[in-house]
DNA sequence: CTGTATGCAAACATTTTGCATAAGC
DNA sequence: GCTTATGCAAAATGTTTGCATACAG
């Protein structure tokens, strides 16, 4: 029996999709769809904001990028880095430092399981004023 | 010297504000401004959505309620319990459990200071699927 | 009375959707 | 050529703001 129902999206290879993938491989920090669109436009790429939204969304669904919602309620995306970590953010200049804390991970998982929760994940952001401010 | 510059808002006592305060004292779970507005309207209270937003915001600023942003990007509010704590949220039904973790607090502060950050605060939300789902 | 709070409507910002066109396969 | 991807414009969503009016103090 030939495979009949197209399981996932065949995902056609387009210039725009390639551009978004390229940007996301380069960037280390979380960026909103709009920021990525601006960068692409700045690079001379012709691409619509809608397409950026749609592409990032499908990349997130496919697990190719991490997605989070900023304090302002905007979605931000970043290529999946190896390993789980959190962000230390300067509330004056926005500088970001990646930090890891195995103890925190374990604590979060344990406390969740003690409360009967499964498939546990967590979000942690630390805010402060960095040395230059 | 008499206090000259009105420090915080004098906060006038109105029927609407009382209604929001009353609801918030009753509710144990996070609710969005719109949900609270619906409940108030359902109760027969005449109150504008704008006022609900403004009141909840000022209550959050005053530390009288906790605010968080849902996965949908909506602000949700719930009365503050005493002490600093975090939330364990069921991603299916929204049920919330308050959890505390002194070790996490200390870790966050230490790691921030090691990186030269001062006036440190943090935000932590744990997500999972609760026992009933 | 004076000035804050309210509430409608309109503005806003972000994200999503309808639909005609362009393009991958 | 058939079908998916694109992109504009418009809709949808959640929240905020301008401003005239109501009302607390």
CA distance B53 to A15: 43
- Asked if A77 and A60 touch (Cβ cutoff 8 Å), the reply is yes
Which range, of A51-60, A116-125, B17-26, B102-111, averages the lowest pLDDT? Answer: A116-125
What the block records as the tokens of B104 is: 């996490």
Q: Indicate the annotated binding residues of B for Zn(2+).
A: 90, 93, 130
| Residue B51's pLDDT band (cuts 50, 70, 90) | very high
Distance A133 CA to D17 C1' (A): 32
The pLDDT score that the predictor gives to residue A2 is 43
Is the Cβ pair B117, A103 closer than 8 Å? Answer: no
Which nucleotide has the least CA–C1' distance to B51? Answer: C6
Mean pLDDT score of chain B, rounded to an integer?
84
Residue B35 scores a pLDDT above 80 = yes
Structural domains in chain B plus CATH codes = 12-80 (1.10.10.10), 82-133 (3.30.1490.190)
Half-sphere exposure of B49 (CA within 13 A, CB side): 5
Is the Cβ pair B119, A112 closer than 8 Å? Answer: no
Is A130 known to sit in a ligand binding site?
A: yes
The pLDDT score that the predictor gives to residue B19 is 96
Percent above pLDDT 70 for chain A: 87
Rounded average pLDDT over A4-26? 80
Rounded average pLDDT over A34-38? 96
Half-sphere exposure of A53 (CA within 13 A, CB side): 6
Contacts of A105 (CB under 8 A, 6+ apart): A84, A122
Which range, of A3-17, A110-124, B41-55, averages the lowest pLDDT? Answer: A3-17
For residue A117, give the nearest of B73, B90, B124 by CB distance. Answer: B90
CA dihedral (B72, B76, B82, B88) in degrees, to 10, reads -20
Nearest to A96, CA basis, from B73, B112, B119: B112
Question: Is the CB of A55 within 7 Å of strand D?
Answer: yes
Residue B32 scores a pLDDT above 80 = yes
Q: Which bases on strand C have an atom closer than 7 Å to a protein beta carbon?
A: 4-9, 14-18, 23-25
What stretch of H or E contains A111? helix A102-114
Residue A1 scores a pLDDT above 60 = no
CA distance B108 to B115: 11
The pLDDT score that the predictor gives to residue A93 is 64
Q: Mark out the alpha helices in A3-101 (DSSP H runs).
A: 15-26, 33-42, 49-61
Q: Which bases on strand D have an atom closer than 7 Å to a protein beta carbon?
A: 4-9, 14-18, 23-25
Q: Which of B95, B108, B125 to mutate to test the interface with A (most CBs of A within 10 A)?
A: B108
| Residue B5's pLDDT band (cuts 50, 70, 90) | very low
Concatenate the DSSP letters of all residues of B45-113 into one string.
----HHHHHHHHHHHHHTTSEEEEE-TTS-EEEEEPPSS--EEEEETTT--EEEE--HHHHHHHHHHHH
Q: Which residues of A touch B115 (CB under 8 A)?
A: 88, 97, 99, 130-131
């Amino acid at each position: 029996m030939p495979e009949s129902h197209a399981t996932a999206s065949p995902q056609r290879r387009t210039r725009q999709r390639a551009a978004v993938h390229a940007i996301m491989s380069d960037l280390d920090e979380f960026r909103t769809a709009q920021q990525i669109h601006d960068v692409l436009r700045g690079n001379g790429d012709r691409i619509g904001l809608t397409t950026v939204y749609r592409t990032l969304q499908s990349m997130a669904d496919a697990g190719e990028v991490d997605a989070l919602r900023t304090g302002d309620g905007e979605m931000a995306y970043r290529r999946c880095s190896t390993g789980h970590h959190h962000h230390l953010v300067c509330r004056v200049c926005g500088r970001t430092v990646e930090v890891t804390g195995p103890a925190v991970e374990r604590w979060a998982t344990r406390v969740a399981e003690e409360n009967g929760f499964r498939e546990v994940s967590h979000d942690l952001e630390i805010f402060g004023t960095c040395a230059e401010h």
